[in-house]
Amino acid sequence: MAPRPPSILDVAELAKVSRQTVSRVLNEHPSVNPETRQRVLDAIAQLDYRRNPAAHALASKHSNILGVTVTNAQLLGPSGALLAIDEAARLAGYWVSVAFVRGNTEQEMDSALSHFLNQGAEGAIVIAPNDATLAAVERNADRLPMVLATTADTSGLGIPALDIDQRAGAHKAVQHLIELGHERIAHISGPLNEFHARDRLAQWSEDLRAAGLSGEQFLEGDWSPASGYQFGCQIAAEDNPPTGIFAASDQMAMGLLRALQQHGIRVPQDISVVGFDNMVGSDQLIPPLTTVEQRFDELGAALLSMLVALVDGKEIPRAELVPELIVRESTAARS
């Protein structure tokens, strides 16, 4: 049989103080004198005492734990937002509990939110890339305060939401190519079951239509370099290829550049390429990639501020997050 984990009473007995004094030290109450506080901390370290977060939350109504659900954790956007949320949470006195939702299913999201409730989390930030995530959020809306990271319309849910303006970023990318004189501008999208991919595709199509250009040539990718490479090989086989390409992620643009180079197509002399994300290393590609920069640090901090305000019953701060175009050597005027 496994030994019983040490309790708060064990800490009190070893430190020769009351249970209430141990509780005050754990909750950083200022009324404990420094010598007593140190004695309690030494006892906690000696016993390797760990407070039960769910029990603490039940007793105090404050766990200082916030949940974050993350889908597509291997991608720059979700991972960048998570790091920023964690940093902002610690500065605000909270700890983050992360649930990685790998399959993007409603069942996985239900399980993740239940996990946060079992931990005594005070609220959760849900990175919501698709309709399945929103359906699960709607079912659990009354169980836990939530803030959503999504570009979807959530007005009917009554849940605060914020995201980087994807359509504004796509507009800057496409408009850059139009201003350089390109008339045949293709697009490689992300998976179209995701809101970000739909937003970027819709803006590409709208901008080309507004400029009187054809918006017919696009391929649905999966955010990976492999899908960009596939599109590049298709373009290389065409008799009349586009002169500009807007790739919906830098990783797809990376595969695209490789395919074009292998087939003797010069960038930007023959085809200009714009990516999206400004991933680390995009300035080291050959040629350095023109891209749209998303400030995930600002997104994470803003989401955290919104959730803390919601938990505290305060007015939720508003933010407008617009990405910026970073012009490098992968784009040039149409020759």
pLDDT tens digit sequence for 196-219: 999 999 999 999 999 999 877 899
pLDDT tens-digit profile of 185-201? 999 999 999 999 999 99
Measured distance CA(212)–CA(228) in Å, rounded: 26
Q: Mean pLDDT highest for which of 10-24, 25-39, 110-124, 216-230?
A: 216-230
- Going by pLDDT thresholds of 50, 70 and 90, the confidence category of residue 55 is low
Of 210, 84, 207, the residue nearest 218 (C-alpha): 207
- Is 182 or 71 the better-scoring residue by pLDDT? 182
- Residue type, position 193, single letter: N
Q: Which CATH architecture has domain 166-294?
A: 3-Layer(aba) Sandwich (3.40)
Pairing of strands 291-293, 324-326: antiparallel
Measured distance CA(295)–CA(1) in Å, rounded: 51
Segments of the chain assigned to CATH 3.40.50.2300: 64-164+296-322, 166-294
Find out whether 264 and 233 touch, Cβ atoms under 8 Å: no
Peptide bond into 268 cis (omega under 30): yes
**H or E, element range at 244:** strand 244-247
Superfamily in which the 64-164+296-322 domain is placed by CATH: Response regulator (3.40.50.2300)
- pLDDT value, residue 104: 65
- pLDDT value, residue 76: 67
- Going by pLDDT thresholds of 50, 70 and 90, the confidence category of residue 58 is very low
- pLDDT of residue 329 exceeding 70: yes
Find out whether 26 and 81 touch, Cβ atoms under 8 Å: no
- Going by pLDDT thresholds of 50, 70 and 90, the confidence category of residue 73 is low
Of 246, 252, 247, the residue nearest 223 (C-alpha): 252
Measured distance CA(183)–CA(211) in Å, rounded: 9
